[in-house]
Amino acid sequence: MPAKLKVAVLGATGYSGMELTRILLRHPRVDRPVLLRRAESHLSKDAKGGAPSESGNGHLNLADIFPALSGNGSYPLEPLAWPVLKQKGVDLLFLATPHEVSRSLVPEAVANGMRVVDLSGAWRLKQEQHRAIYKFKDEDAATAAELTEKAVYGLPELNGDKIPSAKVIANPGCYATTVILGLAPLLKAGLADKDKGIIADSKSGVSGAGKEPTARTHFVSVADNLSAYGVFTHRHLGEIAEQLQITSDEITFTPHLLPIPRGILSTIYVHLKHKTQAAEIESVYRDFYKSKRFVRVFQTPKLPEIQFSLNTNYCDLGFCLAPDGQRLVIVSCEDNLIKGAAGQAVQNMNLMFGLNEEEGLL
């Protein structure tokens, strides 16, 4: 058996970073991951909030933050240092860090010969009008522009041919994954009437908002409640538009916060160009995803539910067609921390290094 991959994770203290660490620890082709913290601050936050804490002996240990890891040795959080990572022979660096941190670290990682899977939104967007929402201030604008163009949007079901050779993978957003996978077959087949507008009504569990507590994610605000946010301004809108090759005026995307820990359900409303049979719609979806391991297409009229995809790397798709044959409702579900983040990151890693796509994910 070939030598195991050596990987490092920066940002393991957040929800997505922790899920990523758990998957990597059980992956049969990956050595025990090197867990990192930013050397300049013990209190640096990762992509899903959260901050490392020191144990009684002065060391940082992930098991102190997530006791579920206890009983199987320690999980030290080492300071990020490029020479040390090269000495350890790290093949791949996962970044579960805030967008602006990933924006600054990826050029350094590439300059040090590392390949990167970035779970933030730092490198997902090619078009400046969409990327402007992040307000990045790049120290080296030329290098940032070059990496932006070379970074591959890591949705394996759409870009599986580009991922194996990529140096930088921009892991997709959680909401964006459900909407893109729900719409891509229809748009490729030319069935959707974009002039009549597409509506994506998406709902996510609280973990999607990150580990750092806010007034919106406080128990009192979330429990027994359902709220919309980021209407017309959510950063995943640009991702959806770019990957589906539509304009942001052709789709209305509204995210909502559900009072559950995890999971996403997106209900997508589409007008079709002509009267269509349900069998034709189902055939379009099954043909598009016939070789895609982690998309499950439900037989109409059965629809996905959040509970079906929880704790898996699947995106589940189903639909209902109106009696007029021209109004279509698509339901797309996933676990936002796995297919929407950590699992998809490992799926990308598998493709980058020539492993079976499902390795470590089933």
Question: Catalytic residue numbers?
Answer: 174
The answer to whether the CB of 216 falls within 8 A of the CB of 255 is no
The answer to whether the CB of 207 falls within 8 A of the CB of 262 is yes
- Amino acid sitting at position 63: A
Residues 337, 58: Cα–Cα separation, whole Å? 30
Token pair 């391991």: residue: 293
Q: Which helix (H) or strand (E) holds 23?
A: helix 15-26
Residues shown for the chain? 362
Token pair 């059965």: residue: 302
Pairing label, strands 198-204, 251-257: parallel
- Amino acid sitting at position 225: N
Token pair 């890693």: residue: 349
- Amino acid sitting at position 284: V
- Report DSSP letters for 296-346, one per residue: EEPPTT----HHHHTTSS-EEEEEEE-TTSSEEEEEEEE-TTIIIIIHHHH
